[in-house]
Amino acid sequence: MDVTEDHTVASLVPLMIATSLDAGQRPVLQYRESATGKLLGVLRLTRSASVTTEKATITLYYVTAGEHHCLGQPLRAWSTRLQNRVMLKNRAPHHFSPEPAAVQQLMIAYLCPRPTILVSVAAPGHQNIFPMDLIGPLERSGLFSLALRSTSISVPIMRETRKVALSSIPATMKAVVYKLAEQHKHPLADWNALPFPVRPSREFGITVPASALRIQELDIVHSQEVGSHTLFIGRIVSEENLAEGTQLHHTAGFHQAYRRRKGVPFAEV
CA–CA dist 266, 45 (Å, integer): 28
Tens-place pLDDT, residues 12-21: 999 999 999 9
Q: Tell me which amino acid residue 10 is.
A: A
Tens-place pLDDT, residues 193-209: 999 999 999 999 999 99
The answer to whether residues 6 and 16 touch, using CB atoms and an 8 Å cutoff, is no
Torsion of the alpha carbons at 204, 210, 211 and 215, rounded to the nearest 10: 10
The alpha carbon of 66 is separated from its chain's Cα centroid by a whole number of angstroms, namely: 18
E-assigned strand segments in 53-211: 57-68, 114-115, 117-123, 126-132, 135-138, 143-149, 163-168, 198-200, 207-209
Eight-class DSSP state of 59: E
Q: Where are the domains of the chain?
A: 8-113, 114-249
Domain 114-249 bears CATH identifier 2.30.110.10: yes
**Average pLDDT value for residue range 27-48:** 95
Tens-place pLDDT, residues 86-95: 655 566 665 5
CA–CA dist 153, 170 (Å, integer): 25
Eight-class DSSP state of 120: E
